Amino acid sequence: MWCLTELKKYFKQGELANDFDVCRYYDLKARIKGNKYRKELPKINNNGIIMNEFQIKIEKYLLLDEKSKKKIKLKAKKQLPYFEQKFKQIMSEQYKKIVY
């Protein structure tokens, strides 16, 4: 039963981001540069495969061990609200430019 207790420590409700949150974090982090939102990400040659920054980050994330994934999930949980707020701010500013 000790293993169940240990698992509860690592996966307290709301302590870690889930995989979808990590994807959203990497997507917003790649697309938001300064006060601009990039709809299309530049392509990069990654070992002979053309990928964008988001795809490379997700591929690396999926290949990590559980301990490293936990660190990234904690980081995503902390920083995702900032990137979502920044995204809303950029989109509202772009909407105001279109309307006025």
φ, ψ (nearest 5 deg) of residue 43: -85, 145
Comparing C-alpha atoms, which of 33, 28, 19, 32 is closest to residue 72? 19
Highest mean pLDDT range out of 5-9, 13-17, 76-80, 93-97?
Answer: 76-80
Q: What is the pLDDT of residues 36-94, one digit of tens each?
A: 999 999 999 988 999 999 999 999 999 999 999 999 999 999 999 999 999 999 999 87
Reported pTM: 0.78
φ, ψ (nearest 5 deg) of residue 38: -95, 115
Domain ranges of the chain: 2-99
